[in-house]
């Protein structure tokens, strides 16, 4: 099974690759900074960086806000806390 795992700090990459068939979460980590996780079948996109107010609005429309997003490397598992 082939998997894609993309780490990016470019908002355009995150927003252009997300669609309604996947699942997305975001956590606000600062005034204009966010962490987001999007996954669909064999694809994971992990974003950490700044968003403009317009980009933040797009993300909020497509994703669920959570308290934290963490990755457990030992178990290869994402941990989401609401």
Reduce the DSSP state of residue 40 to 3 states and report it: strand
Question: Which residue segment(s) compose the domain that 37 sits in?
Answer: 4-81
* Token pair listed for 40: 């669909």
Q: Going residue by residue through the chain, which has 82 residues, state the pLDDT in tens, using 9 for 90 and above.
A: 678 899 999 999 999 989 878 999 999 999 999 999 999 988 899 999 999 999 999 999 999 999 999 999 999 899 999 9
What is the rounded average pLDDT for all residues in the chain?
93
* Number of domains the chain contains: 1
Q: Are the beta carbons of 43 and 3 closer than 8 angstroms?
A: yes
CATH of the domain at 45: 3.30.720
The separation between CA 34 and the C-alpha centre of its own chain, rounded to angstroms, equals 9
């Amino acid at each position: 099974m082939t998997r894609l795992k993309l780490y990016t700090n470019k908002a355009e990459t995150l927003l252009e690759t997300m669609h309604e068939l996947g699942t997305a979460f975001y956590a606000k980590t600062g005034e204009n900074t966010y962490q987001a996780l999007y996954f669909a079948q064999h694809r994971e996109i992990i974003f950490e960086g700044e968003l403009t107010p317009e980009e933040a609005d797009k993300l909020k429309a497509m994703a669920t806000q959570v308290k934290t997003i963490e990755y457990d490397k030992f178990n290869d598992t994402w941990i989401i806390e609401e």
